A and B are shown apart, each in its own frame.
Chain A
Amino acid sequence: SQELEQSPQSLIVQEGKNLTINCTSSKTLYGLYWYKQKYGEGLIFLMMLQKGGEEKSHEKITAKLDEKKQQSSLHITASQPSHAGIYLCGADLSGGGADGLTFGKGTHLIIQP
């Protein structure tokens, strides 16, 4: 079974609308990372959350980590065409930090004009 579940798998949103992507784990999220990937390109770091209840924002994107540190959400306000792409959550599930991240399968976001 997938250790990190992302939902939805794909999302089509009209330009200007808000949207939310979720990332859920059965294990404690010692660190939760959100990345954006444009088709055929590398990963762009968006935000990292570590503390339960933490919330970070950058421009129109807000990420939250729940108090139990098992679920994170990424919220985009007033979506724009530039937000289109694949959003990936990655997690440090071991707490050690060195042995890489576990990733969800990604959410494909399409913005309709």
Chain B
Amino acid sequence: NAGVTQTPKFRILKIGQSMTLQCAQDMNHNYMYWYRQDPGMGLKLIYYSVGAGITDKGEVPNGYNVSRSTTEDFPLRLELAAPSQTSVYFCASSNPLGPLYEQYFGPGTRLTVT
């Protein structure tokens, strides 16, 4: 199993550009999440999904959009990038029926908006 994979690892965007951060998991997990981590801060939840076709806003959803057309993929879309979106983005997945309900994290995407 590859676990949770994220692409790209690094990206520099200009203000106003758009991009999609890709996230995929091969563990057949129903629950998937997007977090952002700013320097010196913990992770904050952007969006989450409890299954294909179902998404919901987290704590900091403004400026982002998500879709969940399959169980495996959960892309995060940034429209009109702003410097405030400079951060490290982590995707995670979990199996609510598993013994630990552990959230598995991807390696992260480091995004800089200039």
- List residues of A (58-113) whose CB comes within 8 Å of B's CBs: 88, 90, 97-106
A12 is an interface residue with CB less than 8 A from chain B: no
B104 is an interface residue with CB less than 8 A from chain A: yes
B41 is an interface residue with CB less than 8 A from chain A: yes
Residues of B within 8 A of A41 (CB): 107-108
Other-chain contact of B101, A6, A31, A42, A102 (Cβ < 8 Å): A31
A-B interface pairs (CB < 8 A), number:
60
A21 is an interface residue with CB less than 8 A from chain B: no
Residues of B within 8 A of A88 (CB): 42-43
B102 is an interface residue with CB less than 8 A from chain A: yes
**Interface residues of B, count at CB 8 A:** 26
A4 is an interface residue with CB less than 8 A from chain B: yes
Residues of A within 8 A of B50 (CB): 98
The prevalent SS among residues of B at the interface is: strand
Structural contact, B96 and A45, CB atoms closer than 8 A: no
25 A-B pairs whose Cβ atoms sit less than 8 Å apart in the complex: A4-B42, A6-B42, A33-B102, A41-B107, A43-B90, A43-B105, A45-B103, A45-B105, A48-B100, A88-B42, A90-B43, A97-B101, A98-B48, A99-B45, A99-B58, A100-B33, A101-B43, A101-B103, A102-B45, A103-B42, A103-B43, A103-B44, A105-B40, A106-B40, A106-B42
Residues of B within 8 A of A98 (CB): 31, 48, 50, 96
Using a CB–CB distance below 8 Å, which chain A residues touch chain B?
A: 4, 6, 31, 33, 35, 40-43, 45, 48, 88, 90, 97-106
Residues of B within 8 A of A97 (CB): 96, 101
Structural contact, B105 and A100, CB atoms closer than 8 A: no
Residues 49-67 of B, flagged 1 when their CB comes within 8 A of A and 0 if not, give 0100000101000000000
Residues of A within 8 A of B108 (CB): 41-42
